[in-house]
Amino acid sequence: MPRPQGKLMRALGPWLTFKALTGGIILAILVVFALFAPLISPFDPNKQDLMKAMTPPQYFSGPYFFGTDHVGRDLFSRLIYGARISLAIAGAVVVISGVVGVMLGIVSGYAGGRVDFAIQKLVEVVWAFPPLLIAIAILAFLGQGLVNLILALTLQRWIPYARVVRAEAMILKEREYVVAARSIGASHLRILLRHLLPNLLQSALVIGTFAMAAAIIAEAALSFLGLGVPPSVPTWGSMLADGRAYVSTSWWMSLFPGLWIFATVLSINMLGDALRDNLDPKLKRSGGRK
């Protein structure tokens, strides 16, 4: 009889890879920073001290680990609080766009006919607009704000979910267990929720992981342009915008926000690769997992 420890190791084995562990550790550290920012942050992120303006990084030799910006605000504290905004916005965008995209995709693929035609025409119309430009237009019209920013980033990001889920739903609805459920009188809603949706969540999860990284980059780009959240809220993109005028004299003002964005996106992409390798049945059958 196999030991419980052996079963646990076989279950965890595919996830104990370099990509999964490295991405998971980096992302876990950032999540801890975001959740416990008031406890970890050594300073108020908006506290100004012009006497300490543009102090170079002191690392472990002084209170300003990553230095200060042009008005004397501690960069390390602002980076920690910026993680809250970036991860919260990215998470909200992924959840909202995922729910909308999966629902539209599964209905489109299962119903077919005119319903499928109407939803796909909606996809084509929305997909025709460049995502960053439509986000800029929405924020320019509605103004700055957390809700408006999430709305602007969500408006087009449901489409990848809808297209992938639709294609898989068209295949799954012809499977024997779906035909059998339909033959015994199961309602369409029951078939969608009990037989199709559970088999589509894996693909949606992989898409959502990569979409989260893209949302962080988009939020940073909009904040860099001054169209994100209000200036009083510290974000990595706005910190990059503040540092671009001082890049030749105070390099740390742009370097460290850029590195945090890079590390966050890299960790999420590594986790996405690990999820795809372990959840994609085609890769499992072909031996393509690494």
Q: Mutual orientation of helices 197-224 and 252-279 as an angle, nearest 10°?
A: 170
Which of 13-17, 68-72, 271-275 has the largest mean confidence?
A: 68-72
pLDDT at 139: 86
With cut-offs at 50, 70 and 90, classify the pLDDT of residue 11.
Answer: low
According to DSSP, the residues that pair with 68 across neighbouring strands are 74
pLDDT tens track for 124-139:
888 888 888 888 888 8
Cβ-proximal residues to 242 (8 Å cutoff; 6+ apart), any chain: 69, 70, 253
Q: What predicted TM-score, i.e. pTM, was given to this entire model? A: 0.83
- pLDDT at residue 1 tops 50: no
Mean pLDDT of the chain: 85
- Which domains, ranges and CATH numbers included, belong to the chain? 16-37+75-286 (1.10.3720.10)
Cβ burial of 216 (10 Å; 0-12, 13-18, 19+) is buried
Query: What values do phi and psi take at 68, rounded to 5?
Result: -125, 165
The closest alpha carbon to 72, from 287, 253, 270, belongs to 253
